[in-house]
Amino acid sequence: MHQQRMPGAVLLGSDFKALEGKKTLTGEVRFEHQGRARAGQRNKGIMRLYAEPESGRLLGTEMCAPAGEHMAHLLALAIDRSLTVQDMLRLPFYHPVLEEGLRTALRDLLIDEDLCGSRPRYGRASRTQDRRQENDQRKRPSRDHSPKLTVGRRANDPPD
Write the pLDDT tens digit of every residue in 102-153.
999 999 998 543 444 544 343 454 444 454 555 555 555 555 554 554 455 5
Write the pLDDT tens digit of every residue in 13-30.
999 999 988 889 999 999
Average pLDDT for 154-158: 61
- Examine the pLDDT at 5 and tell me if it is beyond 70: no
Question: For residue 74, what pLDDT is reported?
Answer: 93
Q: Which residues contact 70 (CB under 8 A, 6 or more apart)?
A: 98, 99
Question: For residue 120, what pLDDT is reported?
Answer: 39
Write the pLDDT tens digit of every residue in 44-92.
999 999 999 989 999 999 999 988 998 999 999 999 999 999 999 999 9
In the β-sheet with 8-13, what is the strand arrangement from edge to edge? 8-13, 58-65, 46-51, 25-30
**Rounded to whole angstroms, what are the CA distances from 25 to 65, 69, 94, 117, 121?**
20, 23, 25, 14, 9
Q: Which residues contact 39 (CB under 8 A, 6 or more apart)?
A: 96
pTM: 0.67
The burial class, CB within 10 Å (0-12 / 13-18 / 19+), for 150 is: exposed
Domains by residue range for the chain, with CATH = 8-113 (3.30.390.30)
Structure confidence at residue 32 as a pLDDT band (50, 70, 90): very high
Average pLDDT for 31-51: 92
